[in-house]
Structure 1
Amino acid sequence: MKTILKLAIVFVFALCCRAQENITVINEKSNPKLIVGIVVDQMRYDYLTRFYDKYGDGGFKRLMNEGFNCKNNHFNYVPTSTGPGHASVYTGTTPKYHGVIGNDWYDKELKTMVYCAGDDSVQSVGAETSDGQMSPHRMKTTTFGDENRLFTQMQGKTIGISIKDRGAILPAGHTANAAYWFYGKDKGHFITSSFYMDNLPEWVVDFNNSNTAKFYLRTWDTFYDIETYTESGDDKNTFEGTFNGKETATFPYDLNALKDKNGGFDIIKTTPYGNSVVADFAIAAIKGESLGKDSVTDVLAVSFSSTDYVGHQFGVNSKEVEDTYIRLDKDLERLLKELDLLVGSGEYTVFLTADHAAIDVPAYLQSVHVPAGYVNSRMHYQKIREFMTNEFGDEALIESISNNQLFLDREKIKALDLDLDDVQEAIVNELITYPNIYKAYTATIMSTTSYTEGIEYLLEKGFNQKRSGDVLYVYDPSYISYGRTGSTHGSGFNYDTHAPLLFFGKGIKQGETFKRTEITDIAPTMSALLGISFPNAAIGNPLEFVLE
């Protein structure tokens, strides 16, 4: 009897162990080994469709045709710029909560402008300048990478990579193993800060010593015959900026000859080769950090920022932008092939989106009779300060004007026995009379009113009660405060908010939708895929229809 009982116990124990093994196998199979988040800086949704016939089968088309394409994806706040964009993609919330209200903003406590990733308490690693004094300390909330690190007891790695420091730092989050960004000038190296480490890893030193960036100081000409670039405007026109030392913004560009007048290796940033060196470094990181090599999910955040530099200089409709996306498509194909090889086909998940889109050059829009133009912001600043003197006796009641916001000196207002709400409202009523001011609102309205649609909804989601200004204003559609060449961004209009959103790989369905999705849905979707906590202030929802 005892023998039978012992055998039964052994049998049950074996079944339990086998079941546990099966559970382990199921769990391992359920999660991708690596999440790769790709943000393409200043990418409009229509770049997917406009240049579609120029793309190969292994880059954008592979993500679109084998993955899931959210065709009606939008940013749900203002301002649409790089810092807030990268933060919002990975935190699943907006500046209202994560606090990154711009690339730079006026700090009401410090009484000075601050940079979204700037941190004087840390030191540069890999550079002797202040370019490495950066961290995510001004971002108030967690990213899904942070939540994955917490969930896996810090075993899952998180690494951010970009040309721009903020494009690497904010996506990687607070608990990241590393964030690396490109230091051009006389080096052409990737650097980091002491927030992450005291010395660069050997694989980064090896990459920097390989002089990869120097390889890209070559002639930039179109990938295909320029005559076939029928999806963009004439190569020679009056709507584009050019490099110092070159008379016209026309192909080809001899980067080696132009580098000395354009910041040395920094010239690479404003060419498609900036994306190429990021792809090179990302592949080196996958190898050097052994990302996706075990059952614990890692996160790699890659931001391709040269698209933004090229867009700002040459404009949305330029041949330079078209060629940059054609070449980025090749870099994406190369990255995906390396992921297939190093992590395993079907073992990783990718999402691709943007941090904002961009406007067509207003001067070009004017030439084809679309209402557009340029705002004389200096005139606005002068007039509003004159108004403050005439109405309240002191123009210094305005401490700062930045990011289409006015910041008031509340201590002076109190000392003068003025009512803050009355001062704010008076400024709104004055501003709305100025040319090309489309909308204006007080901080009180933004703090007390819940909007569900329109520009007001976007302003509210971008308004941070502690950091934003006392008055917010919006320019007319297609009007910008900018130079007459090149494109910019920042508004809540569709040309700035409509951005691509592609999902691909393990756990992702094949398909497409025209349902509205918002940028804050990405992080909750990744969290749901991994079965981890949502970022702590996420307001987005998991996109169930993209998940298997």
Structure 2
Amino acid sequence: MKKLLLFIGMFLISSPAFAQKSSSSIPAKPKLVVGIVVDQMRYDFLFRFWDLYSDGGFKRLVNDGFLCQDARYNYFLTTTGPGHSTIYTGATPSIHGIVDNIWYDRLSKKEIYCASDSGTFTTGLEIQTQSMSPYLLRSSTMTDELKLASKQSRVIGIALKDRAAIMPAGHMADGAYWYDAKTGKWITSTWYKKSLPDWLSDYNRRDGTNQYLNQTWGLLLQRDRYKQCTGDSVIYEDPLSNETLPIFPHHLGKHDYSILPFTPFANTMTKDIAINAIKSEQLGKQNATDFLCISFSSTDLIGHKFGPNSLETEDCYLRLDRDLQDLFKFLDSYVGLNNVLIFLTADHGVAINPQFAEDNKLEGGLVQSDQWKDSINNYISNFYGRGSWVSDVTVQQVYLDYDFIAESKKSCEEIAVKVKEYLLNKKEVLCVTVPEYPILNDCSDYVEQLIMNGYQHGRSGDILFSVSPGWVDWTSMKGSSHGTIYSYDNHVPLIFYGWKVPHGSSAASVVISDIAPTVSNWLNIAFPSGCTGKPITDIRLK
């Protein structure tokens, strides 16, 4: 009998149902999900700067988390608005509708911004102006679905760029906050709040941004340790607006609010705002899962300005690595990383500078397709008379002028044929797709599928084309850009870490639209309304 009682006692002590829950135990669901997007982070950046990373930032994620080695975007155009939307909706632009950062609107006959909303106004500035919202996002997000599943759950989005805070936070968020480069203040819109929370109002009131200004951006480490970049003074870089040469050190003045985002200090500011939000909103401290969406935007702005092979880009990633280390240390002490699910990815990659490519005997060059409108109209005029045959040309897209074509008693197909002729006469154009007239398509099945995954009728152009590998559709030969179908633009990091995520890696092909259903599946919530991705099954939770 004594042995039986001893056995029962030992069972009650050791059984999970009766054991006292230790601080290190893992909950059934994470108390906090932290989604991190590093704007313009190409996959190879994860290992290109590996030797100079700290142990607590990117290395911590890779060494202790699960790395998806072949995560890609399966559409064009690979830009910020579509990227953030795809991560959080689990859909491609063909469904969620954010086909680019801007597109031509046929009703207003002008280009519109992906987060614009004439029905909302800024919150946080003395003068209210028309502001931003997720109004144009046509799918729910996994953050929306979390709010629908649990009224207690709180969702907050934070980024320098408005679209990078809004699209992840979704339609139902408790807050989405972004940086106003004119005033140095952090703001939101009336879509979310009619007044800022006290913690953010206090930050703006004491001019919190000034602590990141009036300083010098010098190298984090000794110059001879930077091995993965070009020299400091090279022709591939564009100087900051307050400089004449793009060389270190870069100096910031007291009110250089618009220059700050082009330095790593803005990433540090974003990290600090995120930590402030976690503490002030008590994220991860309740009996429901909260969600914080963070996007680090300065990596993109620095990449555009100086290019991916620059000394500035390398230093920016080393500093971001230290910012991540600080964030993870805070999460560990405040919530406990066993209680936090983290994923890190990017919204797109980046091409090498076109002049750098030429100097290294690589194929490529500069494309400025947004300046082709007049030349396309002139080309068509040689056949059908002068007129406005084309309404607009944006990056790799041509919009026909339906009204003028109808008035001229021509068909859109006839005009599309001529546009195609014009485009294919350019060596920088790989192929052309005309969704309304499939007979005119000359792209391979693979390329056409990527294009069509990024196409939505009514928002996308009538004629879409892919540039050839190495060609960069950008404003100048300085810096670089993105937006193509190629691996340097669509292959990005994807790492899951914390909570029940095991250490491991997989080279299996994954699309970025798989992130939302994966996280949704782990949270036991519905997939976003437009979701086409699938849960990643290679990650077997503990």
Pairwise same-fold verdict (TM > 0.5):
yes
Query: What pairs with 1:138-537 in structure 2 (closer than 5 Å)?
Result: 138-152=136-150, 154-185=151-182, 187-217=183-213, 218-256=215-253, 264-375=256-367, 377=369, 380-445=372-437, 454-482=446-474, 483-537=476-530
Contact 2:238 2:479 in 1 (8 A): yes
**Amino acid corresponding to residue 153 of structure 2 in structure 1:** G
In structure 2, C-alpha distance between the alignment counterparts of 1:419 and 1:246, rounded to whole Å: 51
CA distance in 1, matches of 2:60, 2:17: 37
SS in 2 for 1:101: coil
Deviation string 1:424-460 (CA, Å, 9 cap, x unpaired) is 23321332122322111112257999x9963222101
Q: Specify whether residues 425 and 159 from structure 1 end up closer, same or farther in structure 2 by C-alpha distance, changes over 3 A only.
A: same
Could you tell me how far 1:249 is from its partner in structure 2?
1.3
Cα distance in 1 between the residues matched to 2:66 and 2:194: 40
Alpha carbons of 1:497 and 1:422: their partners in 2 closer, same or farther (altered >3 Å)?
Answer: same
Q: 2:52 corresponds to which residue?
A: 54
- Comparing 89-98 with 391-400, greater Cα deviation is found at 391-400
Q: Deviations over 1:475-524 (max 9, x none)?
A: 22111232111011111111111111010011312101111111101001
Going from structure 1 to structure 2, the CA distance change for 1:129 and 1:103 (only over 3 Å counts) comes to farther
Q: Are the equivalent residues in 2 in contact too, given 1:529–1:547 (CA < 8 A)?
A: no
- 1:15 is aligned to none
C-alpha separation between the residues in 2 aligned to 1:134 and 1:110?
18
Deviation at 1:421, TM superposition (A): 2.8
Q: Distance in 1 between matches of 2:126 and 2:540?
A: 46
Q: Verify the 8 A CA contact 2:343 2:496 in the aligned structure 1.
A: yes
CA distance in 2: counterparts of 1:229 and 1:344, whole angstroms: 34
Match of 1:13 in 2: none
Secondary structure at 1:396 match in 2: coil
Q: Deviations over 1:160-182 (max 9, x none)?
A: 00000001001100011110001
**1:227 partner SS:** helix
CA contact (8 A) 1:313 1:487 kept: yes
**Deviation string for 1:245-271 (max 9, x for gaps)?**
423211111212xx66xxx21211000
**For residue 3 of structure 2, what is the aligned residue in structure 1?**
none
Asked if the contact 1:446–1:460 (Cα under 8 Å) also holds between the matched residues in 2, the reply is no
Describe the SS at the equivalent of 1:231.
coil
TM-score (norm 2): 0.92
> Displacement of 1:28 after TM fit?
9.0
Larger fraction in helix: 1
1:266, 1:190 → 2: CA distance? 13
Please state whether the residue corresponding to 2:116 is helix, strand or coil.
coil
Work out the CA distance in 2 between the residues paired with 1:253 and 1:426.
Answer: 48
Q: Are the aligned partners of 1:161 and 1:180 in contact in 2 as well (CA < 8 Å)?
A: yes
Q: Is the Cα–Cα contact under 8 Å of residues 119 and 137 in structure 1 kept in the other structure?
A: yes
Q: Is the 2:66–2:503 Cα contact (8 Å) retained in structure 1? A: yes
Distance 2:507 2:148 in 1: 34
Whole-angstrom CA distance in 1 between matches of 2:199 and 2:311: 36
Q: Alignment partner of 1:265: what SS?
A: coil
Q: How far apart, CA to CA, are the structure 2 residues paired with 1:193 and 1:132?
A: 9
Q: In 1, distance between residues paired with 2:310 and 2:129? A: 31
Shift of 1:240: 0.6
The 8 Å contact of residues 39 and 80 in structure 2, kept in 1 or not, is answered as yes
Residue aligning to 1:98: 96
**Match of residue 29 from structure 1:** 27
Q: 1:331 to 1:379 in 2, by over 3 A?
A: closer
Code of the residue aligned with 2:424 in structure 1: it is I
Query: 1:19 Cα deviation (Å)?
Result: 12
Q: Give the alignment of 1:74-93 within 5 angstroms.
A: 74-93=72-91
What amino acid maps onto 2:195 in structure 1?
N
Deviates more, 1:485-494 or 1:246-255: 246-255
Q: TM-score, normalised by structure 1?
A: 0.91
CA change 1:445–1:67 in 2 (3 A) is farther
Pairwise CA distance, 1:417: 3.5
- Does the residue aligned with 1:517 lie in a helix, a strand or coil? strand
Selected match of 2:106 from 108, 130, 152: 108
Structure 1 residues 367, 420: closer, same or farther in 2, change over 3 A? same
Q: 1:501 to 1:166 in 2, by over 3 A?
A: same
- Percent sequence identity is 38
In the alignment, the residues of structure 1 paired with residue 378 and residue 293 of structure 2 have an alpha-carbon distance, to the nearest angstrom, of: 47
SS in 1 for 2:335: helix
Distance across 1 between alignment mates of 2:147 and 2:368: 47
Structure 1 residues 205-227: Cα deviation after superposition (integer angstroms, max 9, x where no partner): 12223433211111111110011
